[in-house]
């Protein structure tokens, strides 16, 4: 039997050959570890190529693992920033640096236009004059005060026209507004009697307005407004051009017309009673007719409440 060939070194082994063989096992790519790292771009690109080759082939080292970890951290940070931007965009919010810039601009605008500028204006408006009085602050727009002398009856409802009628409670005059051509009937209440107190007189006037303004029916006159001007009270109502008394006195009404007028008046009275009100002064003079032939009951100066809402028993009236 033939003996196998045994390879024997041709000469003594030197330390340099052993070092070369050991270093060859830890040599990656074509880089020699004894040459160290170079700052040139060529060596850097070569190192990156060798690193990518090792990563693709499955081999790794301590330096490549560190680079991989850094890349993962950078990817996580980028994903977190992108998620924050998406959240801000989704809910309509601004980015942090944009919010900071916006708050700075708002602060600059406040210190530039606010604060002291308005305070100086207020000090100037309220500064006392030489006689010791304080000038009230000026207002650009006029303030409308209810029931004031400068309420402006004619500015709201036009100029006074002809007299429509008068009675114990006052007189009624015509007013036509120039803006839209609408016509109103305005009642000027009588002056206060000497035996009446100011409180009782104002209570009587406002009570008539309150009763009229709460009634909304086709056969009841509409009460629009009440104005106190130049020491007198004025009640603004819708205008009906015809008087039932004058119409009846013509003697030209037929049976059907009389029946129609009576039914309309009864409809208005039934509505008043359903509201717990008694007119107590129902007559031909207190019924007017509009241009469409509709009856309208007017003048609630003698009306009283005989039953309040949610009460069963009637309220007894007292005479004056």
Residues with a known catalytic role: 281
Secondary structure (H, E, C), 221-282 = CCEEEEEEECCEEEEEEECCCEEHHHHHHCCCCCHHHHHHHHHHHHHHHHHHHHCCEECCCC
* C-beta separation of 17 from 10 below 8 A: no
Measured CA to CA, the distance from residue 235 to residue 237 in angstroms comes to 7
- Which tokens hold the place of 280? 């107590």
What number of other Cβ atoms are within 10 A of residue 215's Cβ? Answer: 18
**296 vs 220: CA distance, rounded Å:** 5
Sign of the dihedral through C-alpha 286, 208, 186, 294 = negative
Token representation of residue 194:
């000497």
Cβ distance 184 to 238 under 8 Å? yes
Q: What is the DSSP letter of 25?
A: H
Q: Which long-range contacts (CB under 8 A, 24 or more apart) does 247-251 make?
A: 247/289, 248/284
């Amino acid at each position: 039997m033939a003996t196998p060939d045994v390879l024997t070194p041709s000469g003594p082994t030197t330390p340099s050959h052993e070092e070369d063989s050991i270093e060859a096992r830890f040599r990656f790519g074509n880089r020699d570890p004894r040459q160290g790292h170079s700052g040139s771009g060529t060596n850097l690109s070569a190192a990156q190529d060798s690193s990518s080759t090792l990563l693709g082939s499955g081999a790794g080292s301590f330096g490549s693992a560190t680079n991989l970890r850094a890349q993962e951290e950078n990817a996580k940070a980028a994903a977190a920033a992108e998620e924050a931007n998406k959240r801000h965009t989704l809910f309509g919010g601004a980015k942090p640096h944009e919010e900071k810039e916006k708050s700075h601009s708002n602060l600059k605008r406040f210190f530039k236009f606010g604060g002291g500028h308005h305070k100086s204006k207020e000090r100037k408006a309220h500064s006392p004059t030489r006689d010791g009085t304080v000038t009230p602050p000026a207002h650009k727009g006029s303030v409308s005060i209810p029931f004031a002398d400068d309420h402006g009856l004619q500015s709201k409802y036009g100029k006074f026209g002809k007299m429509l009628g008068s009675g114990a409670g006052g007189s009624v005059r015509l007013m036509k507004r120039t803006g839209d051509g609408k016509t109103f009937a305005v009642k000027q209440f009588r002056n206060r009697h000497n035996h009446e107190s100011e409180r009782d007189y104002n209570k009587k006037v406002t009570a008539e307005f309150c009763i009229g303004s709460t009634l909304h029916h086709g056969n009841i006159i509409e009460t629009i407004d009440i104005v106190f001007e130049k020491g007198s009270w004025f009640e603004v109502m819708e205008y009906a051009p015809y008087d039932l008394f004058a119409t009846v006195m013509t003697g030209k009404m037929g049976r059907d017309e009389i029946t129609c007028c009576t039914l309309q008046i009864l409809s208005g009275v039934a509505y008043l009673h359903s509201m717990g009100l008694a007119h107590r002064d129902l007559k031909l003079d207190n019924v007017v007719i509009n241009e469409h032939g509709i009856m309208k009951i007017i003048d609630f100066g003698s009306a009283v409440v005989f039953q309040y809402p949610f009460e069963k028993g009637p309220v007894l009236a007292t005479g004056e």
